[in-house]
Amino acid sequence: MTQTTADFLATVPLFSGLDRPELQRFAELTREKSYPRGSVILFEDDPGDSLFVVRQGRVKVVLIGEDGREVILGVLGVGEHFGELALIDDRPRSAHVIAMEDSDLLVLRREDFRARVESSPSVAWSLLTELSRRLRRADDKIGGLVLLDVPGRIARLLLDLAEESGGPAIEKALTHQTIAQMIGASRETVSRAMKEFQDSGWIAVERRRISVADRAALERRAQVRV
């Protein structure tokens, strides 16, 4: 089992730059936990004592308002991780994390992760690179929410997700409701825009899987209009 975990960690960006012995050490420190669909993995304000890596399934990182409204900060699939901020600043969790489907996660305790970081500069550098990437994406997302209309936000989201997937097909299956919660819009507005995109030939949808068919058109739509 440890050998298999090491192979998997080699595919995770945070760990992919490590040599085999270092991957093996991390694999020996992880434990696997399973969560059924709909279960809460972390609550906002929980103690931040572990890093989680998605090994199977999908999870969403969400904020829930006092009125019960849910805002999705991100949808994470296989090989993606969460909880790394708490490993650095010792502060409580900043959002809820909920399983969108049956999911298996690798869990690495803060003390174990820190010990490996202190003995391996390559791990620290990988963490800094990942945090930098997330900050840049957060800046782009904030800018889009402020400056773009709803179709523009959808276009930007689809382009970002396609880039994450490494091709025109978006690997993460997303409902219109999930998209709406990710960009701060109503499901009805998202459905209308998605139909317009599909009718215009900008996207293709098959069995809830979205593919970018006309990247240039989506990029034009994702530009700020003045």
The tens digit of pLDDT for each residue in 10-69 reads 998 888 878 888 889 899 999 999 999 999 999 888 887 889 999 999 999 998 877 778
Got the DSSP string for 185-200? Answer: --HHHHHHHHHHHHHT
Instruction: Provide the pairing of β-strand 103-109 with 31-35.
Output: antiparallel
pLDDT of residue 13: 82
Closest listed residue to residue 97, CA positions, set 79, 72, 114, 118: 72
Helix (H, G, I), strand (E, B) or coil at 19: coil
CATH classification for the domain delimited by 2-121, as one of 3.40.50.2020, 3.60.40.10, 3.40.1000.10, 2.60.120.10: 2.60.120.10
Who has greater pLDDT, 135 or 199? Answer: 199
By the 10 Å C-beta count (0-12 exposed, 13-18 middle, 19+ buried), 190 is classed as: buried
CATH of domain 148-221: 1.10.10.10
pLDDT of residue 137: 73
Where are the domains positioned within the chain? 2-121, 148-221
Our CA dihedral for 70, 76, 77, 79, rounded to 10 degrees, sits at -160
Both tokens of 83, joined, read 């909880």
* Residues recorded for the chain: 226
Please tell me the pTM assigned to this model. Answer: 0.75
Q: Determine the residue type at 61.
A: V
